[in-house]
Amino acid sequence: MKANETLDAKGLACPMPIVKTKKAITGLEAGNVLEILATDQGSKADIQAWAENAGHQYLGTVEEGEVLKHYLRKGKDDEDQEEKKHDQTISNEELQNKLSEDVTVLDVREPAEYAFGHIPGAINIPLGELDERLSELNQDQEVYVVCRTGSRSDLASQKLAKQGHNAYNVIPGMKEWSGETKQEQ
C-alpha cells in the first residue's frame, strides 16, 4: 500500500512504537500518510487511540503474518472548517441515490485512505496527482468528487471545473458515508 513514509518499529515493545510514531509524524507534511510496521499486538489499539487524541487520522491496519502495518494520515488543524468555494455540490444521500446509474465518482483521498474503504466503483486520483492525471477522466460525464470532509474535493472540483468538467463536490464526504464501501488490500 502506498505511503509517503514508512517507520520500522518491528521488534519494539510498548511504548516504543508510539514514541517513534510520534517522532516520525512530526517530520511529515500535513495530509501525508505514514506506514508503521510493528510486531507489538497492542500497538493497534494504542495507535488508533493516540491518533484520535493527537488529531491524526487512523486509516487502518493490515496484518501480514506477525507484522502489523498501521496507516496514519497526518492531520490538519482546520480541515473540517475550511471554506468551500466550489458552488456545485451534492449531499451524500443524493449521491447515494445516483449510484445505481452509470456515474463517475472520483475519490481524491490518498491511496491508503481509499484502500481502507471507498464507494464501490470510485476512481482514485489523489488531489496531488490530479493535474497530471486529468486525462483519465471522461469530459462528457458529470464527475462527483469525494474526499473525507469535502475540503480536498472542493479544491479538486475547482480544478476540474477550470478544465471544463461538470464537477460536483460531495458534502460532507466519506467521513459520514453510510452507504456501501469496498476495501482493497
Partner 1 sequence: MIKPMTAAQVAKRVMNQEELFILDVRNESEYKDWKIEGNSIHVINKPYFDLLDGVEEIVEELPNEDVLVVCAKEGSSKMVADMLDEAGIKEVSYLEGGMKAWSEYLEPVKVGDLSDGGELYQFVRLGKGCLSYLVESQGEAMIIDSNRMIQPYLDFAEDKSLTIKHVADTHLHADHISGGRKIAEETDASYWLPPKDATEVEFDYNGLEDGTEIEVGNTKIKVQAIYSPGHTIGSTSFIIDDQYLLTGDILFVESIGRPDLAGKAEDWVGDLRNTLYSRYKELSNDLLVLPAHFSKMSEMADSGVVAKKLGDLYKDNSGLNVDDEQEFRKMVTENLPPQPNSYEEIRQVNMGKINPEDEKQREMEIGPNRCAVN
Give the interface with partner 1 as residue ranges (CB under 8 A). Answer: 13-16, 18-19, 22, 41-42, 45-46, 49-50, 53
Known catalytic residues are 14
> 112 with 124: CB under 8 angstroms?
no
**DSSP bridge pairs for 168:** 144
CB of 23 to partner 1, least distance (A): 9
Determine the 3-state secondary structure of 115 from DSSP. Answer: helix
Cβ proximity to partner 1: between 30 and 45 the closer is 45
Complex with partner 1: residue 14 or 181, whichever CB lies closer: 14
Q: Specify the residue, 16 or 134, whose C-beta has the smaller distance to partner 1.
A: 16
Alpha carbon distance 136, 113 (integer Å): 20
Nearest approach in angstroms of CB 42 to partner 1 is: 5
Residue 24: C-alpha distances to residues 1, 5, 46, 51 (Å)? 18, 9, 16, 13
Q: Which is nearer to partner 1, 18 or 127 (CB)?
A: 18
Closest approach of partner 1 to the CB of residue 178, in Å: 24
* Cα separation, 101 vs 45, whole angstroms: 39
Q: What are phi and psi of 149, to 5 degrees?
A: -120, 0
Task: Measure the CA–CA gap between 6 and 21, rounded to whole angstroms.
Answer: 10
Q: Rounded to whole angstroms, how far apart are CA atoms 57 and 31?
A: 9
Pull the grid cell for residue 6.
514508512
Shortest gap between Cβ of 57 and partner 1 (angstroms)? Answer: 16
